[in-house]
């Protein structure tokens, strides 16, 4: 037996033992996954829970088809707040502070404009230098429309960069390329100590790690639902507005859904009380209710257990790399200051990821040379981690 085969067998035994002891192992059966595929792209598009298709059929046939227009009064109109309250525990928020509405991009725009409007007399917005492109694009346009200057600053330097000029700071909780987890409590404290508002992008952390918005006294946050929350392609995003800021949340998209009395058809706009004022247009009910169904898989899930498994999956990924691909360049932190993805630099880039796809290992690629492997604790197995690294090893 060669040394390489012996290492692989040892890792296979370890993976089998870890999977057998996994407290979340039963959750995988709730997802519609092909066992021939090892899925590592839940950080871009989560896998579908099995029951969502049937629930949507009921929505189309019984609610849309049966109740027709009456469905708006049967629960559709209030769904954004109701589903927001289902997401609230996943982001460490009390009820009444999260609403599901619009896309991540639209929610970022609404929230960042509201943040700078709530902090007059300051002429600057900061955004983390490694931000997801959409965040940067939106921040550029908000600065342009509001007359603010925009500065891009590495997260590690934000505490020194924020000043009495800064109205708001937009930060990604988890870096989308490296998977690095940024320190929400310390960054928020530094931003607020300078009198600025902290706006957090939770797209790569919600549903992956425990988020503690209330505990960290975060001002505003946005997040998507189609990644680790498994809401489906294009499922609506959410906005968090801390209770203390809701009365002053003056967002720029004054649509009828955020009106204090939407069916009064008044000429002038009056913002709704509470979190509903973060709404804008008519909600996309099919996507909204698909998300509502998908959130059922979170019932009874202990987020501490979820986090422990996500970190353990990452640790095992590193172990497999060390034994099968020693010397691989990995920008993801080895310590636990990371989200639930492992990024591996590979000179083959997209060609390597395409080859992995052909062998049933589905991750994704980010330029110039980063292969990303998302680890969704509700359904990713240790055996799949080994398969990913073994397949990558075979391509080198």
pLDDT in tens, 107-146: 999 999 999 999 999 999 999 999 999 999 999 999 999 9
Distance of CA 16 to the CA centre of its chain: 29
Distance between CA atoms of residues 43 and 202, nearest Å: 12
Query: Is there a domain that residue 234 lies in?
Result: yes
Query: Is there a domain that residue 322 lies in?
Result: yes
Select from 206, 165, 207, 162 the least CA-distant residue to 186: 162
pLDDT higher than 80, residue 6: no
Joined together, the tokens standing for residue 195 give 């009198």
State pLDDT tens for residues 72-110.
999 999 999 999 999 999 999 999 999 999 999 999 999
pLDDT higher than 70, residue 1: no
The pLDDT-based confidence of 347 (bands split at 50, 70, 90) is: very high
Catalytic residue among 27, 110, 122, 227: 227
Using alpha carbons only, how large is the chain's radius of gyration in Å?
22
Domain end (from 263, 298, 333): 298
Query: Is there a domain that residue 388 lies in?
Result: yes
19: domain CATH number is 3.90.1150.10
Mean local confidence (pLDDT), 377-391 = 98
Mean local confidence (pLDDT), 49-54 = 98
Indicate whether 38 and 99 sit together in one domain.
Answer: no
Catalytic residue among 31, 40, 132, 365: 132
pLDDT higher than 80, residue 2: no
Indicate whether 205 and 350 sit together in one domain.
Answer: no
Indicate whether 80 and 164 sit together in one domain.
Answer: yes
HEC sequence for 13-80: HHHHHHHHCCCCHHHHHHECCCCCCEECCCCCCCCCECCHHHHHHHHHHHHHHHHHHHHHCCCCCCHH
Indicate the average pLDDT of the chain: 96
- Residue 27: active-site member: no
3-state secondary structure at position 291: helix
Query: Is there a domain that residue 68 lies in?
Result: no
On the 0-12 / 13-18 / 19+ scale of CB atoms within 10 A, 65 is exposed
Indicate whether 232 and 251 sit together in one domain.
Answer: yes
Query: Is there a domain that residue 60 lies in?
Result: no
pLDDT higher than 70, residue 375: yes
pLDDT of residue 300: 95
pLDDT of residue 3: 62
Q: How many domains, the chain?
A: 2
Q: Provide, rounded to the nearest whole percent, the portion of the chain with pLDDT above 70.
A: 98
Distance of CA 201 to the CA centre of its chain: 8
Select from 256, 269, 272, 254 the least CA-distant residue to 113: 254
Indicate whether 261 and 316 sit together in one domain.
Answer: no
Indicate whether 227 and 98 sit together in one domain.
Answer: yes
Domain of residue 327, residue span:
3-50+300-394
Indicate whether 41 and 144 sit together in one domain.
Answer: no
The pLDDT-based confidence of 342 (bands split at 50, 70, 90) is: very high
Indicate whether 130 and 168 sit together in one domain.
Answer: yes
What residues contact residue 28 under an 8 Å CB cut-off, 6+ apart? 378, 379, 381
Select from 386, 301, 372, 384 the least CA-distant residue to 45: 372
Domain end (from 298, 323, 346): 298
Comparing 4-13, 64-73, 228-237, the range with the smallest average pLDDT is 4-13
Indicate whether 385 and 348 sit together in one domain.
Answer: yes
How many Cβ atoms from other residues are within 10 Å of residue 84's Cβ? 25
Distance between CA atoms of residues 374 and 204, nearest Å: 10
Catalytic residue among 40, 176, 220, 226: 226
pLDDT of residue 55: 97
- Residue 41: active-site member: no
Query: Is there a domain that residue 55 lies in?
Result: no
What residues contact residue 7 under an 8 Å CB cut-off, 6+ apart? 323, 324
Mean local confidence (pLDDT), 180-185 = 98
State pLDDT tens for residues 281-319.
999 999 999 999 999 999 999 999 999 999 999 999 999
Indicate whether 237 and 344 sit together in one domain.
Answer: no
Indicate whether 263 and 384 sit together in one domain.
Answer: no
Catalytic residue among 27, 110, 309, 372: 372
Q: How many residues does the chain have?
A: 396
Per the CB < 8 A criterion, the answer to whether 99 and 274 are in contact is no
Backbone angle region of 56, left / alpha / beta, with phi > 0 → left and psi within -120 to 50 → alpha: alpha
Catalytic residue among 135, 201, 292, 346: 201
266: domain CATH number is 3.40.640.10
Domain end (from 298, 318, 336): 298
- Residue 39: active-site member: no
Per the CB < 8 A criterion, the answer to whether 57 and 64 are in contact is no
Indicate whether 266 and 351 sit together in one domain.
Answer: no
Query: Is there a domain that residue 84 lies in?
Result: yes
- Residue 227: active-site member: yes
Query: Is there a domain that residue 58 lies in?
Result: no
- Residue 214: active-site member: no
Sequential DSSP letters for 86-117:
HHGGGGT--TTSEEE-S-HHHHHHHHHHHHHH
């Amino acid at each position: 037996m060669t040394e390489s085969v012996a290492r692989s067998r040892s890792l296979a035994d370890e993976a089998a033992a870890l999977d057998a002891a996994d407290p979340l192992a039963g959750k995988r059966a709730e997802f519609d996954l092909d066992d021939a595929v090892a899925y590592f792209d839940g950080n871009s598009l989560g896998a579908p829970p099995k029951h969502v298709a049937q629930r949507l059929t009921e929505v189309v046939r019984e609610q849309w088809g049966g109740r027709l227009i009456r469905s708006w009064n049967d629960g559709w109109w209030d769904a954004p707040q109701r589903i927001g309250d289902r997401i609230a525990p996943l982001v460490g928020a009390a009820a009444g502070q999260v609403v599901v509405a619009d896309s991540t991009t639209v929610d970022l725009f609404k929230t960042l404009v509201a943040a700078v409007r709530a902090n007059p007399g300051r002429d600057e917005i900061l955004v983390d230098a490694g931000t997801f492109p959409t965040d940067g694009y939106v921040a550029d346009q908000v600065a342009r429309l509001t007359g603010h200057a925009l500065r891009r600053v590495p997260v590690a330097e934000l505490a020194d960069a924020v000043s009495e000029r800064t109205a708001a700071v937009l930060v990604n909780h988890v870096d989308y390329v490296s998977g690095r987890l940024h320190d929400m409590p310390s960054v928020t404290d530094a931003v607020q100590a300078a009198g600025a508002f902290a706006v957090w992008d939770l797209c790569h952390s919600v549903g992956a790690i425990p988020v503690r918005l209330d505990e960290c006294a975060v001002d505003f946050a946005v997040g998507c639902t189609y990644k680790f929350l498994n809401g489906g392609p294009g499922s609506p995003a959410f906005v968090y507005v801390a209770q203390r800021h809701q009365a002053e949340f003056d967002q720029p998209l004054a649509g009828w859904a955020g009106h204090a009395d939407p069916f009064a058809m008044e000429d002038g706009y009056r913002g709704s009380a509470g979190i509903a004022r973060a709404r804008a247009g008519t909600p996309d009910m099919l996507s909204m209710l698909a998300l509502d169904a998908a959130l059922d898989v979170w019932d009874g899930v202990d987020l501490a257990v979820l986090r422990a498994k996500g970190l353990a999956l990452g640790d095992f990924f590193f172990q497999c790399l060390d034994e099968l691909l020693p010397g691989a360049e990995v920008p993801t932190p080895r310590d636990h200051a990371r989200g639930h993805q492992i990024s591996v630099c590979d000179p083959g880039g997209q060609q390597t990821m395409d080859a992995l796809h052909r062998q049933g290992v589905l991750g994704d690629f980010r330029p110039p040379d980063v292969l990303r492997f998302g680890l969704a604790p509700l359904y990713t197995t240790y055996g799949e981690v080994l398969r990913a690294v073994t397949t990558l090893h075979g391509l080198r």
